[in-house]
């Protein structure tokens, strides 16, 4: 038996574990890493079972090409040459920006760096993006605007020092289990206060001092009103506001419009709840906000994020342990994919494509001329452009937009309108069904590299076994493709060499190398080889200098309930499955625990519709209709439905609305109007 230390391929918590390999070179188990700095050997059920899916017989093993409408096996030579020639034809016929690249938060930093390089240096387009667009795009924009850096301000271990947690729009125990248990431990063992704002009775709510169940989409008036109370009771941190921030007068003016009585009415709660939350948060010595998709996935997602930042600045909870604005990043490497420039507006380290000196630096480093200076298409706007016939070629590596993007019929229409679609994945997916070329990739257990966790910690991923059949690591595929496209600046002998190059052009990663993170990962910013990494951001000074109060007014969600569609439909995830289910639905234990689509609904609503628990219902919106099992309880607010997007046979994204935040371009997954009827 061999044990290989690596990092979990599921969520952004960043637990590390040993993959156990038998003498036939097969993965047979997982062992916790008791030395791990953050989680000390603990894992959730997805981590414990992460050795199973790589062995699944459905793994892609050969390149495939569509011939006369059918997918047939092909050689790597044929498949890669076809991609090069079709992309060349498309760009010649329709222009440089008629092709786009979707990168992947499932793949390594090194692979995301290469996607950013392939799109920009070889194909001369900024049309490169990834699922952060569907996830924390609002965070990246909102916190960059207020603080100057769009990442989690503090560390996971900081939670052991907090006196008050404000958890909003994060189902922490299910989605970031090892962070959820950490919060519970602090509450139970040290009496830290816990405010949970979620209209579902999530597990954390059982431990909360205050559980607030307002209407989805009303975070801005709720948080503004909390600040209104803090200011009117003189509970703000006057010294912090005076010395570390700007634009306070503007904030005061805006939050003055949200007295508790008025906000309570918009939010569907009591004024008393707002006052209590305000006092609890402001009076704590060290308080932090922990948030996730409930805050970001709205047409006013950036406003939500900025409003969270305002509250934390107002109470002086920044730049020290136990505090901060802590957006929990979702995918195992979504932080890293952003850091490595898989975003349509920035190169690595958030260096803007619109800055001429930045472009010059990358032109020199990559040995190319004329890097494009206009912001490219995002995952969401690329799909729209394809539907409009403006985007003709799409290269999707490690994403499944058919199941994860909003409004599935629209996505299908868009992908079918393309001239040429390439999918690189480890399994066949709903997206690869529409592809012209499919390339088989090695999974996390079959390659070397690094992932960056939610707390900005760069950690090693190590090869434990060989990939199945002809499958190759994404980085090898990308290098081969670049060479065939006539670019000789993308040849590497190992991922370590790729990281060295990425570090040399990325100040926040400047001191990171495989040698340094061999045993313990480092947290960026880590600008130099002797820098110890940075557990807490904005100590003494914000990245942008002063913190910028950025007040926002309430803007209602794009589609609200009416007589025809009387419910708010909200979507998200569950403990046992991950996203579009490609990996967890191929893991026995997980699939057994949760075998199919369901919709959570309130008991009173169910009574009125004559729906019983576990009965099949149809949920419909203006976009489509889905069959799911009703889960009836008091765990969800009346008038609200909740569905997960894991199941192909009941795809929540057939129902969701393609409405975007105007700046972040993130979809409104958390609110649309729906109705329910019995299926029999």
Least Cβ distance, residue 8 to ligand SF4 (angstroms): 3
Q: Does 451 bind ligand SF4 (CB under 6 A)?
A: no
Q: Does 599 bind ligand SF4 (CB under 6 A)?
A: no
Q: Does 371 bind ligand SF4 (CB under 6 A)?
A: no
Least Cβ distance, residue 151 to ligand SF4 (angstroms): 17
Return the one option of Mo ion, ligand MGD, ligand SF4, none that residue 571 interacts with (CB less than 5 to 8 A, by type). ligand MGD
Give the C-alpha separation, 209 to 207, whole Å.
7
Q: Does 64 bind ligand MGD (CB under 6 A)?
A: no
Tokens 């409009």 — which residue?
388
Least Cβ distance, residue 285 to ligand SF4 (angstroms): 28
List CB contacts of 663: < 8 A, sequence separation 6 or more: 141, 302
Binding letters toward Mo ion, positions 133-152, x by CB under 5 A: --x-----------------
Give the C-alpha separation, 170 to 239, whole Å.
31
Least Cβ distance, residue 439 to ligand SF4 (angstroms): 26
Give the C-alpha separation, 36 to 641, whole Å.
39
The binder of Mo ion chosen from 47, 150, 324, 330 (CB under 5 A)? 330
| Residues 154-183 interacting with ligand SF4 (rule: CB under 6 A) | 177-178
Give the C-alpha separation, 448 to 463, whole Å.
5
Q: What are phi and psi of 640, to 5 degrees?
A: -120, 140
Q: Does 5 bind ligand SF4 (CB under 6 A)?
A: no
Give the C-alpha separation, 106 to 168, whole Å.
25
The binder of ligand MGD chosen from 582, 602, 621, 658 (CB under 6 A)? 582
Give the C-alpha separation, 458 to 466, whole Å.
24
Identify which of residues 177 and 330 has a Cβ nearer to Mo ion in the complex. Answer: 330
Binding letters toward ligand MGD, positions 377-416, x by CB under 6 A: --------------------xxxxx--x------------
Identify which of residues 20 and 84 has a Cβ nearer to ligand SF4 in the complex. Answer: 20
Least Cβ distance, residue 215 to ligand MGD (angstroms): 8
Give the C-alpha separation, 544 to 539, whole Å.
12
Return the one option of Mo ion, ligand MGD, ligand SF4, none that residue 400 interacts with (CB less than 5 to 8 A, by type). ligand MGD
Pairing of strands 616-620, 672-678: antiparallel
Three-state SS for 674? strand
Asked if 101 contacts 395 with a C-beta cutoff of 8 angstroms, the reply is yes
In sequence order, what are the beta bridge partners of 16? 7
Q: Give the chain's radius of gyration (CA, Å).
A: 24
**Residue 220 CA from chain centroid, whole number:** 21
List CB contacts of 335: < 8 A, sequence separation 6 or more: 12, 151, 329, 452, 453, 454, 456
Cα distances (Å, whole numbers) of residue 235 to 238, 277, 455, 509: 8, 12, 29, 39
Least Cβ distance, residue 525 to Mo ion (angstroms): 23
Identify which of residues 300 and 329 has a Cβ nearer to ligand SF4 in the complex. Answer: 329
Binding letters toward ligand SF4, positions 45-64, x by CB under 6 A: -xx-----------------
Task: Candidates 31-39, 260-268, 288-296, 355-363: pick the segment binding ligand MGD (CB under 6 A).
Answer: 288-296
Pairing of strands 437-440, 420-425: parallel
Asked if 480 contacts 81 with a C-beta cutoff of 8 angstroms, the reply is no
Return the one option of Mo ion, ligand SF4, ligand MGD, none that residue 43 interacts with (CB less than 5 to 8 A, by type). ligand SF4
Give the C-alpha separation, 416 to 435, whole Å.
9
| Residues 456-515 interacting with ligand MGD (rule: CB under 6 A) | 474
Q: Does 393 bind ligand SF4 (CB under 6 A)?
A: no
Task: Candidates 128-136, 267-275, 441-449, 585-593: pick the segment binding Mo ion (CB under 5 A).
Answer: 128-136
Q: In terms of Cα–Cα distance, which of 44, 294, 285 is closest to 182?
A: 44
Asked if 537 contacts 153 with a C-beta cutoff of 8 angstroms, the reply is yes
The binder of ligand MGD chosen from 443, 505, 630, 672 (CB under 6 A)? 443
In sequence order, what are the beta bridge partners of 520? none
Return the one option of Mo ion, ligand MGD, ligand SF4, none that residue 178 interacts with (CB less than 5 to 8 A, by type). ligand SF4
Q: Does 112 bind ligand MGD (CB under 6 A)?
A: no
Asked if 393 contacts 379 with a C-beta cutoff of 8 angstroms, the reply is no
Identify which of residues 134 and 212 has a Cβ nearer to Mo ion in the complex. Answer: 134
Identify which of residues 135 and 156 has a Cβ nearer to Mo ion in the complex. Answer: 135
The binder of ligand MGD chosen from 107, 348, 450, 621 (CB under 6 A)? 107
Binding letters toward ligand MGD, positions 17-56, x by CB under 6 A: ----------------------------------------
Q: What are phi and psi of 412, to 5 degrees?
A: -60, -45
The binder of ligand SF4 chosen from 5, 6, 13, 580 (CB under 6 A)? 13
**Could you give the angle at which helices 271-283 and 219-232 cross, rounded to 10 degrees?**
60
Give the C-alpha separation, 652 to 654, whole Å.
5
| Residues 122-161 interacting with ligand MGD (rule: CB under 6 A) | 131, 134-135
Q: Does 169 bind ligand MGD (CB under 6 A)?
A: yes
Q: In terms of Cα–Cα distance, which of 287, 310, 297, 315 is closest to 170?
A: 297
Chain position whose Cβ is nearest to ligand SF4: 47
DSSP string of 473-502, one letter each residue: -HHHHHHHHHHHTT--S---SSHHHHHHHH
Least Cβ distance, residue 492 to Mo ion (angstroms): 29
Least Cβ distance, residue 368 to ligand MGD (angstroms): 25
Quick one: tokens of 660? 């975007």
Give the C-alpha separation, 255 to 147, whole Å.
20
Tally of CB atoms within 10 A around 562 = 9
Which residues sit at the interface with ligand SF4, rule CB under 6 A? 8, 10-11, 13-15, 43-44, 46-47, 177-178
Which residues sit at the interface with Mo ion, rule CB under 5 A? 135, 330
Which residues sit at the interface with ligand MGD, rule CB under 6 A? 11, 104, 106-107, 131, 134-135, 168-171, 174-176, 197-198, 200, 202, 216-217, 219, 292-295, 297, 330-331, 397-401, 404, 424-427, 429, 441, 443-444, 474, 570-573, 575, 577-580, 582-583, 645, 652-653, 656, 669-670
């Amino acid at each position: 038996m061999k044990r290989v230390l690596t990092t979990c391929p599921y969520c952004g918590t960043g637990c590390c574990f040993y993959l156990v390999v038998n003498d036939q070179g097969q993965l047979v188990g997982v062992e916790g890493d008791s030395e791990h700095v953050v989680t000390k050997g603990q894992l959730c059920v997805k981590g414990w079972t992460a050795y199973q899916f790589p062995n699944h017989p459905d793994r892609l093993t050969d390149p495939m090409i569509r011939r006369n409408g059918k997918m047939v096996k092909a050689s790597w030579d044929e498949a890669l040459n076809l991609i090069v020639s079709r992309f060349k034809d498309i760009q010649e016929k329709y222009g440089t920006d008629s092709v786009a690249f979707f990168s992947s938060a499932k793949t390594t930093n090194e692979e995301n760096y290469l996607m950013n390089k392939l799109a920009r240096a070889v194909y001369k387009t900024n049309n490169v993006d990834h699922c952060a667009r569907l996830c924390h795009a609002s965070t990246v924009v909102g916190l960059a605007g207020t603080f100057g850096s769009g990442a989690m301000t503090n560390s996971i271990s900081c939670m052991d020092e907090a006196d008050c947690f404000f958890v909003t729009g994060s189902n922490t125990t299910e989605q970031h289990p090892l962070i959820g248990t950490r919060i519970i431990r602090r509450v139970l063992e040290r009496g830290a206060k816990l405010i949970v704002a979620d209209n579902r009775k999530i597990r954390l709510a059982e431990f909360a001092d205050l559980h607030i169940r307002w209407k989805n989409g009303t975070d801005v008036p709720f948080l503004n009103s909390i600040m209104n109370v803090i200011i009117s009771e003189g509970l703000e941190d006057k010294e912090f506001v005076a010395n570390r921030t700007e634009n306070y007068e503007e904030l005061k003016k805006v939050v003055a419009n949200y007295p508790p009585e008025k906000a309570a009415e918009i939010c569907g709660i009591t004024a008393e709840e707002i006052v209590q939350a305000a006092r609890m948060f402001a009076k704590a010595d060290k308080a932090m906000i922990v948030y996730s998709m409930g805050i970001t996935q709205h047409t006013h997602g950036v406003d939500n994020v900025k409003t969270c930042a305002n509250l934390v600045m107002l109470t002086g909870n920044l730049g020290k342990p136990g505090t901060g604005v802590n957006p929990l990043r979702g995918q195992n490497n979504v932080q890293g994919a952003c850091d490595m420039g898989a975003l349509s507006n920035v190169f690595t380290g958030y260096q803007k494509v619109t800055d001429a000196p930045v472009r010059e630096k990358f032109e020199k480093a990559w040995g190319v001329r004329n890097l494009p200076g206009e912001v490219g298409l995002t995952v969401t706007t690329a799909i729209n452009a394809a539907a409009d016939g403006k985007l003709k070629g799409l290269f999707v590596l490690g994403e499944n937009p058919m199941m994860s993007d909003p409004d599935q019929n629209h996505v299908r229409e868009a992908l079918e309108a393309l001239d040429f679609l390439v999918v690189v994945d480890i399994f066949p997916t709903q997206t690869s069904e529409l592809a012209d070329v499919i390339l088989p990739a090695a999974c996390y257990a079959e390659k070397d590299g690094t992932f960056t966790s939610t707390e900005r910690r760069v950690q090693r991923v190590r090869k434990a076994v060989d990939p199945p059949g002809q499958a190759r690591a994404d980085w090898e595929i990308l290098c081969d493709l670049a060479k065939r496209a006539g670019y000789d600046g993308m040849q590497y002998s190992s991922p370590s060499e790729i990281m060295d190059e990425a570090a040399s052009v990325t100040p926040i990663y400047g001191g990171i190398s495989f040698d340094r993170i061999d045993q313990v990962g480092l947290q960026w910013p880590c600008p130099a080889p002797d820098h110890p990494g940075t557990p807490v951001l904005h100590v003494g000074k914000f990245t942008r200098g002063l913190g910028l109060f950025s007040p926002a007014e309430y803007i209602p969600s794009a589609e609200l309930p009416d007589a025809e569609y009387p419910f708010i439909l909200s979507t998200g995830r569950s403990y046992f499955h991950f996203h579009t289910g490609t990996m967890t639905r191929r893991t026995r234990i997980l699939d057994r625990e949760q075998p199919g689509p369901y919709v959570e609904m309130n008991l009173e609503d169910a009574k009125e519709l004559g729906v019983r628990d576990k009965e099949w219902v149809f949920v419909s919106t203006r976009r489509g209709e889905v069959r799911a099992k009703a889960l009836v309880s008091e765990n969800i607010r009346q008038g609200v439905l909740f569905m997960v997007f894991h199941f192909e046979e009941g795809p929540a994204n057939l129902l969701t609305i393609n409405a975007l935040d105007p700046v972040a371009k993130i979809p409104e997954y958390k609110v649309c109007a729906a109705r329910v009827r019995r299926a029999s």
